[in-house]
Structure 1
Amino acid sequence: MATIVKTPAGTWKAVIRKTGWPTNAKTFRTKRDAEDWSRRTEDEMVRGVYIQRSGSERMTLEMALKRYLNDITPTKKPTTQRGETSKAKKLTEHLGKYSLAALSAEIIANYRDKRLNEKGRTGTTSNNTVRLELALLSHLFTVAIQEWGLGLTFNPVLNIRKPSPGEGRNRRLSPDEERRLLAAVNKHSNPMLGWIVGIALETGMRSAEISTLRGPMVDLERRIVKLVDTKNDGQRTVPLSRRATELFKAAMANPARPGDCHLVFFGEPGKDGIRRPYAFTKIWGILIKELGLSDFRFHDLRHEAVSRLVEAGLSDQEVSAISGHKSMQMLKRYTHLRSEDLVKKIDKIKQRNLRKV
């Protein structure tokens, strides 16, 4: 039988002591609420279905996200860590004061709709951004259920519709844009910026893959780069075109590189004396804005490079081996062929067939 007492603050405290169960206590504004809770809880204990929910009721989403970022996020790749920190800020801003127990599918669905209509510097929030935020929230609930022992019984994110990923970006460089872009980065005071942009355009490697390259990974004689830690947690070998080989030769012969630094593209030493990869994101953003290409992202260089490989006649399997895409569906998002190039190819095929006749 529960013990119900009035507290000095005027509230009612219910305490349940039952053999085989830990002591459980909860405070309510009215005696009626305390009695109702006590009856329900004791009934669940008798039937063997009682779950201690106080942990999920006390822990807000803001507290849970801080724990997740401290315990789970550090086990992931640096780029993923930065992304999760950014997504956690938005989730905290909108839902941080809710307890985990109070977060229902309806509340999360409202968050989804509000975020999709939220305007930022570049327009409304994209479907993919919201989808990834919900993915982080969903994994947090999974970890909380399986590892944190908070008394949660289900993941409410699983009960709502997720925004579709969308069609993906289709931003290609025009010949004039490419000429102006390469001229600008090659004129920059640090030659590494020009080498990095040129290599991205030639190989389709990701920004993080290029910036973290170390000397032993680049084989100029065989004209290949061996990537050992990619976004998809796999290794791959990237063949180098003649132009890419020339760019790597220039980068490897950089006279400014300290003798004890193995990074191909290196930055200044930090406060701890350690050199980290060259951070070019800020200067890239400034140059792009000055060139009037504010809608062009560094990752679009990968899109351009992969599309050119397809246009050059390589098969999907050959392109995926170079780019590292695990599925043909993902690869198709990057292979938007120029209509004018397809027209030329159709004309060549027809002319070849006419000659045979």
Structure 2
Amino acid sequence: MATITKTPSGTWKALVRRVGWPSTAKTFRTKRDAEDWARRTEDEMVRGAFIQRAPSEKTTVAVALERYRREIVPTKKATTQRREAARIRELTIHFGKYSLAAVTPDLVAAFRDARLAQGKANNTVRLELALLGHLFNVAIKEWHIGLIYNPVANIRKPSPGEGRDRRLAPGEQTKLLTAVAQHNNPMLTWIVQLAIETGMRQSEILGLRRFQVDVDRRIIRLTDTKNDSARTVPLTKVAATLLSDAMRHPVRPIYTDLIFFGEPGRDGKRRPYQFTKVWTRIKREAGMHDLRFHDLRHESVSRLVEAGLSDQEVASISGHKSMQMLRRYTHLRAEDLVKKLDQIQKAL
């Protein structure tokens, strides 16, 4: 049953009490608005569709994102955590002042269009929308904030776009390795060469510890991967030699098991070697501005295919779970395919 009362300040307070439901109240400027809200609320209770909306109306997106940063982001991988911080900042700028209840599909779609108009890559916008959508899912399912639906689920997401097809042109590998070899820290050379030789991701290489590497058997056992599937990576002779040299690094502290280690942090702990700034500088000086570190993985995987390994064999090395993703990362040189066609014709 609803009770409508006038408050000392001149507003109207609607209070709804019904057996089996928590009492709920809301204040309005006019009596008519209070009566309309009370009728809708009672009707929702009768139909079993009532949701306590007060928390979602009082909680801003900025507050929710801050809670997400504290509670949810630390459960993600370290590499993901670093990227999530930038996405949270961007979402806070656009949505922070709104309450969770005020975010509509139209508002989210406007954000999507604005970001794309700024020249942001499709995948960048997709990942920002994914974080916003996950925020609403967590708010509904775990925080039990009264929301009727997830507004991000009802909009069109930008297409992923085509995968990069950047390969090392003839002479570029020698040029790149010569440039990184001039850096005073030999770990950079070992890391770049390992990426080309093994096809491992940057995070997998930087997180390597000595117990994971068996130089004699020429294998690496990876347990912390992007898709959470452990795998064993076979090593070429060159890769095995690189890792052997890295593990014999004369300046290695005895208290760290990391193969590629950085300087101690404020807490005295050593974390993986970070080389983003020096890598960017070296690329620029070598005239290879468009080369990304992840392109070295593309190069390695493509070479495995060109060497004649089957899709299943390549996937077991690279860690791709689906052949579709593997094909996106594999770009064969047309000239190499021409040579294979010639070999087939000679055999006929």
Q: TM-score, normalised by structure 1?
A: 0.93
CA contact (8 A) 1:4 1:35 kept: no
Partner of 1:263: 258
SS at match of 1:168: coil
SS at match of 1:337: coil
Partner of 2:70: 70
**Are 1:2 and 2:7 matched, yes or no?**
no
SS at match of 1:208: helix
Partner of 2:98: 98
Cα distance, 1:265 vs structure 2:
0.6
SS at match of 2:56: helix
C-alpha separation in 2, matches of 1:149 and 1:352: 68
**Are 1:12 and 2:7 matched, yes or no?**
no
Cα distance, 1:18 vs structure 2:
3.9
What letter is aligned with 2:309? L
Query: What are the superposed Cα offsets for residues 126-172 of structure 1, whole Å, 9 maximum, x if unpaired?
Result: 11111122222222221111111111122222211121211111111
Partner of 1:156: 151
Cα distance, 1:4 vs structure 2:
2.3
Query: What are the superposed Cα offsets for residues 70-126 of structure 1, whole Å, 9 maximum, x if unpaired?
Result: 1112111111212222222222222222221121222212222221221xxxxx211
- Comparing 243-252 with 315-324, greater Cα deviation is found at 243-252
Partner of 1:43: 43
Partner of 1:145: 140
C-alpha separation in 1, matches of 2:157 and 2:117: 15
**Correspondence for 2:236 among 223, 232, 241:** 241
- Comparing 14-23 with 291-300, greater Cα deviation is found at 14-23
Structure 1 runs, 4 residues or longer, greater than 4 Å off: none
**Are 1:61 and 2:61 matched, yes or no?**
yes
Aligned length: 347
CA contact (8 A) 1:251 1:264 kept: yes
C-alpha separation in 2, matches of 1:346 and 1:21: 74
Cα distance, 1:20 vs structure 2:
3.6
**Are 1:333 and 2:328 matched, yes or no?**
yes
C-alpha separation in 2, matches of 1:151 and 1:22: 13
Note the residue ranges of structure 2 that are not aligned, 5 or more in a row.
Answer: none
CA contact (8 A) 2:4 2:12 kept: no
Judging changes above 3 Å, is the alpha-carbon distance between structure 1 residues 47 and 350 closer, same or farther for their aligned structure 2 residues? Answer: closer
C-alpha separation in 2, matches of 1:164 and 1:198: 33
Cα RMSD (Å) = 1.6
Residues 159-174 of structure 1: pairs in structure 2 closer than 5 A: 159-174=154-169
SS at match of 2:233: strand
Cα distance, 1:7 vs structure 2:
4.2
C-alpha separation in 2, matches of 1:50 and 1:262: 56
C-alpha separation in 2, matches of 1:342 and 1:97: 56
Cα distance, 1:19 vs structure 2:
4.1
CA contact (8 A) 2:62 2:97 kept: yes
What letter is aligned with 1:214? R
**Correspondence for 1:320 among 315, 318, 330:** 315
Note the residue ranges of structure 1 that are not aligned, 5 or more in a row.
Answer: 119-123
Q: TM-score, normalised by structure 2?
A: 0.95
- Comparing 273-282 with 153-162, greater Cα deviation is found at 153-162
* Identical counterparts, % of pairs: 63
CA contact (8 A) 1:7 1:13 kept: no
